Every structure is written in C-alpha cells, then in structure tokens.
Amino acid sequence: MIILFIILLIVVGLIVVIALRPNTFAVERNVAISAPPALLFGQINDFHKWIAWSPFEKFDPALKRTYEGPPAGVGSVYGWSGNRRAGEGRATITTSEANQRVEMRLDFIRPFAATNTASFTFQANGGQTVVTWRMTGKCNFMSKAFGLLMNTDKMCGDMFSEGLANLQRVVAEAQRPGS
C-alpha cells in the first residue's frame, strides 16, 4: 500500500510540474551576413529557394513538396510530406515586408499536430545584414511533457543556426563574380 501511495505521489507531482511549465515557447537565432537585405529577403520570401538552404530539407531525400498560390510573398504556400523525421505540414506566408520581414504560419500535421508562427527579419548593419529566424507557439500538456525530455530551444535552435549558416553560404555563392 505504501509503494502504491509513493507511485501515486510521484505521478501527481509529475503532472503538477508539467502543468506549471510555460504555455508558450520561443526559439530565436540570428547571424550577420555580408549581403544586402534584398538578396536575403529574396531567399526567404520564395519557398522554391528553400531547398538550397533549409536544414529541414535534408530530413528526407524523397520529400514530397507542393507549392500553391503566388510564387512568392503573401499567400504563397509550401506543403511537405515525408518520412517520420520530416513529417507533414504546410507553411503559408502571412506577412511580407520587402527587405524587412517575412512571417509565416506553420501548420504541422504529423508526427504531431501544432500551429506555430515563424518569422525572419532583416536588419542592415554597415555592410552586413543581421538575419533573425524566430519561431513561437503554444504548448499543450503533451508538448510541455515532451519539453521535460527534449530541450526545444536547443533542438530547434541548432537547426535554425544550421539553416542560417547554409543561407550565408548560398548568398555568398550568389554574390561571387560569374555566378
């Protein structure tokens, strides 16, 4: 009976700890890139160009992609469906301010359902542009529990850092003479 009580106490304590975790999350990374905001904005504002730099594209070599709406800017939609790691979802550009900001709604379908907001901002700084990639969202009970096991900021943040480094490489290649 005492063992059962201790197990119950642990389970209740765990539920309380999970319930008290924050209801929202934010992940953000930035990098200074030697390129004008317009060049960087063009890479983000057009989903067709993401294949060259997005770290998520490598999750599944057979990833199925769909594009809807205008080729770039507000209303442009990128859908993906792939293996367990890539999952399935849609990204829709909701805000596109030339050379300043791109914001999108991310609708994840699998491996888990979630709706988040991602944004990219471009801030000129001398001969460089500071690009900031940010994602925010709400945390339900299950995502709070998952957060106890996995550090969302590190997991997503590492992917954002990799993507920004890839973006830096792609843009540097585009600026080389003869490219």
pLDDT tens column, 91-143? 999 999 999 999 999 999 998 889 999 999 999 988 899 999 999 988 776 77
| Domain spanning 23-175, CATH class | alpha beta
pTM of the model: 0.85
In our burial notation (b when 16+ CB lie closer than 10 A, e otherwise), range 14-40 reads eeeebeeeeeebebebbbebebbbebb
pLDDT for residue 79: 97
Residue 50 pLDDT exceeds 70: yes
Give residue limits of the domains in the chain.
23-175
